[in-house]
Amino acid sequence: MDGNYNNYSSFGGGSGGGGFMPGEANSPAGGKTSDRDNKTLRPVTVKQALDASQPFPEAPFQIDGADVANVLFMGQVRNISSQSTNVTYKIDDGTGEIEVKKWVDSATADNMDTDDGKAPGDGKTELALNGYARVFGSIKSFGNKRYIGAHSVRPLSNINELHTHLLEATAVHLFFTRGPPGAAPAGGNAAAGGNAAAGGADAVMGGANDYSAGQNKALASMSLVAKKTYNLLKTESLDDNGLHMQVIASKLDIPATEVARAGEELLSAGVIFSTMDEQTWAILEY
């Protein structure tokens, strides 16, 4: 049963996905499914974790309009409180302070962080108050309180690691708000960036934001030719029939075979569709 729902929602794409949203909201299984599919580990700042939004209760948290399963951040340990079932740390990275809970598994408490059998002690004992730690885990909320359910909390000893992490977090933030580096600053990208920047401020516009962000994200992982093709279709299409592959190839001065490949990429992502024949494409607009 679970598997079926999973398939439907992933095939649903634009229109189908919308229909399933209410169902997912009520079914905990829906939330879990997307958690399982999304295994990314995103570098963030504590402020981003605190600002992460939740479209509806039980939904995965979103940062810059993208679902986040796991987050990674680094900061100073401001408080350690050991309980029988968990250790709670307060982590401050200069952008904010957040509580981090690491559950203690009594059976493996002593060797959890030493799977490789090299480090003598466990991570917990090495962490010092006001020392730096690197934390990875998932964003959780309990009541109105935001905290991190940590998979790992370890001491950090190299300051360059801290600094590059902050730069990584910036780079990933820019990826989601402005598209990948080197992409043509197309209207679509810029608009999506603007929407994301204003994200959360306007709840009514939430739906519209999601669509453009979704399209932007689909494009983000595509080849340069695919992006160029998409932008050309967006700007040069004269009517609803879009443009023929050969026309695109000559306008972009790119071999037709490459354009054909780009077209397949865009077709399979569902951002364009074929009109007159297999080789004539138009932008699929919502």
Partner 1 sequence: MSLQTPRILPSHLHAFHPSSASSNTVRILGTVTALHGETGTLTCGTNGDVTLILKSDARLQVGKLVEVVGKVADLEGGQGYGLRVLGSTEWGDPADCDYKIYEHVVNATHNFKSIFYD
List interacting residues with partner 1 (CB under 8 A): 44-45, 47-48, 76, 92, 94-97, 130-132, 158-160, 163-164, 166-167, 169-170, 173-174, 197
Instruction: CB nearer to partner 1: give 81 or 246.
Output: 81
- 72 has which bridge partners? 43, 136
Q: Which of 111, 162, 105 lies closest to 132, judged by CA?
A: 162
Q: At its nearest, how many Å lie between partner 1 and the CB of residue 173?
A: 5
In whole angstroms, how far apart are CA 251 and each of 225, 232, 238, 244, 255? 12, 9, 14, 11, 10
Q: At its nearest, how many Å lie between partner 1 and the CB of residue 146?
A: 11
Buried b (16+ CB within 10 A) or exposed e, 82-113: eeeeebebbbebebbbbbbbbebeeeeeeebb
Buried b (16+ CB within 10 A) or exposed e, 250-282: eebebeeebbbebbebbeebebbeebeeebbbb
Q: Is 28 helix (H, G, I), strand (E, B) or coil?
A: helix
Q: How far apart are CA 193 and CA 53, in angstroms?
A: 17
Q: At its nearest, how many Å lie between partner 1 and the CB of residue 130?
A: 6
Instruction: CB nearer to partner 1: give 172 or 222.
Output: 172
Q: Is 38 helix (H, G, I), strand (E, B) or coil?
A: coil
Q: At its nearest, how many Å lie between partner 1 and the CB of residue 8?
A: 35
Instruction: CB nearer to partner 1: give 20 or 175.
Output: 175
What is the phi/psi pair of residue 170, to 5°?
Answer: -65, -45
Q: At its nearest, how many Å lie between partner 1 and the CB of residue 166?
A: 5
CB 91 within 8 A of CB 46: yes
Instruction: CB nearer to partner 1: give 35 or 51.
Output: 51
Q: At its nearest, how many Å lie between partner 1 and the CB of residue 132?
A: 7
Instruction: CB nearer to partner 1: give 174 or 183.
Output: 174
Instruction: CB nearer to partner 1: give 4 or 130.
Output: 130
Q: How far apart are CA 85 and CA 57, in angstroms?
A: 26
Q: At its nearest, how many Å lie between partner 1 and the CB of residue 159?
A: 5
Instruction: CB nearer to partner 1: give 171 or 276.
Output: 171
Query: Quick one: CA torsion of 225, 210, 194, 138, rounded to 10 degrees?
Result: -100
Q: At its nearest, how many Å lie between partner 1 and the CB of residue 50?
A: 8
End-to-end Cα separation, the chain, in angstroms: 30
Instruction: CB nearer to partner 1: give 8 or 175.
Output: 175
Q: How far apart are CA 192 and CA 182, in angstroms?
A: 16
